[in-house]
Amino acid sequence: MTVNQRSRLQQGNGLRSAFGNIRDFVDRVANSSPARLALIVYAAVIFVFAGLLSLPVAAADGQVTPLHDAFFTAVSAVCVTGLTVVSTATHWTFFGQAVILLGIFIGGLGTLTLASMLALMVSKRLGVRGKLIAQQAMSNAGRLGEVGTLLRIVITTSVLIEVVLALMLIPRFIMLGEPFGQAVWHGIFYSISAFNNAGFTPHSDGLVPYEEDLWILTPLMLGVFLGSLGFPVVMVLLERGWRFSRWNLHTKLTIQVSLILLVAGTLSWGALEWNNANTIGGLTDGDKIIHAAFASVMMRSGGFNLVDQNAMEQTSMLLTDALMFAGGGSASTAGGIKVTTIAIVFLAIAAEARGNRDVTVHGRTVPEGAMRVAISVIVMGATFVAVAAGMLLTISGDSLDRVLFEVISAFATVGLSTNLSAELPPEGKYILCILMFAGRVGTITLASALALRERRQLYHFPEERPIIG
C-alpha cells in the first residue's frame, strides 16, 4: 500500500469516525430530550444561514454585511418573522435572497419537525420517545409507527400549497409588465413567504403598488391564513373533509377562533382607521374593506402591510399588539401564544363563571393539564415581552408604543414594523433576535429543552386554598 493510499484510508476512517460520533450524539439527544435537539438544530441552522448572508456574494455592493445585520436577517428568516434591518430587495443579491427564501422554507417546517427529520436522516430511526414527541408536535395525527410518513406529508403539503400559490401569482406579475424570469422569482418568493407567514418582500416598496390588486392580495391572504392554521389542521381537513362533526377538537377550536379573530380584526381595524387620512381615509369604501381584511389576516402573523404602521391610530396599534400576541394555530408557521391557548383560557373563565367544575366544549372535557400549559404559555410570553420591552426602552429611548409594537412583533414572529429594528444599535438587534428565537421554538419547547432533568414527585402535600382575587 502506497503512502497516498494509506493517507486516503486514514482520512476515510476519520470521516467515518466523525460521522459515527455525530450519529451517536443525535441518537442520545433525540431519545433523551427531543426538545433539546430541536433547540440545537434551530440554532445551528440560524448560524449557518448567518454565515452565508455574511459572504460578499450575498450583498449587492459586494461587501461583507455586518455580523449583527446578517445574523438578524438569518434569525428573522429561519424564525419566519419578516423583520428587516436592511432592504431585502436592494441590499441582497439573488444569492442572498435565495438564502433567505431557503431559510424561510426550512424554518417554516417547525422545530420538532426539523429535529425529527435530522434524527431520521442521521441515525435512520427515531426512538420511542422521539416518535412520541414528533407525534405530539403534529397533534397526534397518526399512529406511532407513521411518524416518518407524517413528516413526508408535512413537506409534500407545504410544497404543493406553495406551488399552487406561485401559479396564481406568476401570471399576474407577467401581466403587470415584469420579465418572465423576474415574475417567476417573485411568484415563488411571495408564495413561500406567505404560506410560511414570513412577510419578506422582494420589492423595494413592498406591496404598496398592489394595494388595490386582488389578484395579488387574495393569494397572499389565502396562503397566510392556511399557514396559520397549522399542519395538524391541514392534515385533518385533507383526511376527513370539511364536515365539522368529523373534525377533532383541536381542528374545531383552531378554525373557530381563527375565523372569530379574522372577522373581529377586520371590523375593528376598519372602524378605527376608516377616517385616518394617513392610512385608508382617502380610499373608496371598497378599498377600505380590502385593506381592513388584509390587515386582519396579516396582524396575526403574516407580516405583509399596505400602510405605514407609524401612521396608524394609537388604538389601532394597540389592537395590532393584541392580535399579534394571539397569533395562529399550534404547530403552524404562525407565531404568538396560539389560538387554542386563548380558547382554553376563555373556556376556563366561562366554566368558572358558571360554577362548572369541568371545562367542556363540543362534547369533550379539556384536561386540567392543558389549562396549566395554556396559563404557562401566556405568562411566559408576557414575561418575555415585558422584559425585552424594558431593555429596549432603556437602549433606544424611544416611545413605549413603538417599542412594545416591535417587541410583540418579534416575539410573535409577525414581522410588522415601525422601522425601529433598523434604527436600533447592535445590542438592541440581538435582543430582538432572542425574542424571535424564543417565539418560534415556543416557550414550552424552550423550557423543556433547557430543563436538566425530568422530576417525578413521589409525594403530595396537604391541600390548602389561598384567597384568590
Question: pLDDT: is 119 or 205 the higher one?
Answer: 205
pLDDT band at 136 (very low <50, low <70, confident <90, very high): very low
- In our burial notation (b when 16+ CB lie closer than 10 A, e otherwise), range 7-24 reads eeeeeeeeeeeeeeeeee
DSSP reduced 3-state for 145: helix
Question: pLDDT: is 43 or 445 the higher one?
Answer: 43
Residue 300 has what pLDDT?
A: 87
C-alpha distance from residue 460 to each of 115, 369, 370, 456 (Å): 35, 17, 20, 11
Q: Give tens-digit pLDDT for 2-11.
A: 655 555 544 5
Query: What's the rounded Cα separation, in Å, for the pair 116 and 127?
Result: 10
Query: What's the rounded Cα separation, in Å, for the pair 189 and 111?
Result: 22
Is 77 buried (19+), middle (13-18) or exposed (0-12) by CB count in 10 A? buried
* CA gyration radius, the chain: 23
Cell of 34: 427531543
Among 29-43, 49-63, 98-112, 155-169, which is the least confidently predicted range?
Answer: 29-43
Q: Give tens-digit pLDDT for 88-97.
A: 999 999 999 9
277: number of Cβ within 10 Å: 8
Q: Of 216, 245, 249, whose CA–CA distance to 232 is shortest?
A: 249
Q: Please state the rounded mean pLDDT for residues 426-442.
A: 92
Q: Give tens-digit pLDDT for 365-423.
A: 998 888 888 888 899 999 999 999 999 999 999 999 999 999 999 999 999 999 999 99
Above pLDDT 70, what percent of the chain?
80
Residue 128 has what pLDDT?
A: 44
- DSSP output for 45-86: HHHHHHHHHHSGGGBTTSSPPPHHHHHHHHHHHHTT----SS
8 A C-beta contact, residue 192 and residue 296: no
pLDDT band at 445 (very low <50, low <70, confident <90, very high): low
Query: What's the rounded Cα separation, in Å, for the pair 317 and 300?
Result: 13
- Per this entry, what is the length of the chain? 469
Average pLDDT along the chain: 84
Residue 157 has what pLDDT?
A: 83
Phi, psi of 282 (to 5 degrees): -95, 5
pLDDT band at 236 (very low <50, low <70, confident <90, very high): confident
User: Could you tell me the residue ranges of all domains in the chain?
Assistant: 10-450
Residue 106 has what pLDDT?
A: 87
Q: Answer whether residue 22 shows pLDDT above 50.
A: no
Residue 442 has what pLDDT?
A: 75
In sequence order, what E strands does 321-372 have? 359-361, 364-366
